[in-house]
Structure 1
């Protein structure tokens, strides 16, 4: 099954932060450009980056988003894993 989702949902879930945390180890990141006025996605692309990791504040925020996502989706994730 493949179900397209919005970039905003991916960002809100903490999964973009988690993905970029892993990609930073290799000097990569997924960049998501958002229009400041409309809040619409302009574009998303992979990029080479020099920085590694996120600030403590961003990391804490990412952990909270990811924990919320896991809590709200645990049952469906377990069901899908067992299918």
Structure 2
């Protein structure tokens, strides 16, 4: 199954933050260029920074936890198909 999703949904789920948290380990990040609250371009980039502020991390963990809470039944079902 492949179901296209928007970048906005990906960002709102916290998964964009989570992926970038991992990529920062290697000096990489996915960059989302925005125009009027809409993602217009996404690309990989080399970066010097490693990690996010405590506030951004707190927000990210909350978003990912909420995403899991809202989608766990479907995720479990899909994993068994």
Please report the TM-score for the alignment, with normalisation by the length of structure 2: 0.97
User: Is 2:80 the partner of 1:69?
Assistant: no
**Aligned residues between the structures:** 81
Superposed CA RMSD = 0.6
Map residues 24-63 of structure 1 onto 2, 5 A cutoff: 24-35=24-35, 38-63=36-61
- Taking the aligned partners of 2:45 and 2:66, their CA distance within structure 1 comes to 28
- Detail structure 1 runs of 4+ shifted over 6 Å in the superposition: none
1:3-42 mapped onto 2 (5 Å cutoff)? 3-35=3-35, 38-42=36-40
TM-score, length-normalised on structure 1?
0.95
Stretches of structure 2 that go unaligned for 5 or more consecutive residues are none
- What stretches of structure 1 of length at least 5 have no aligned partner? none
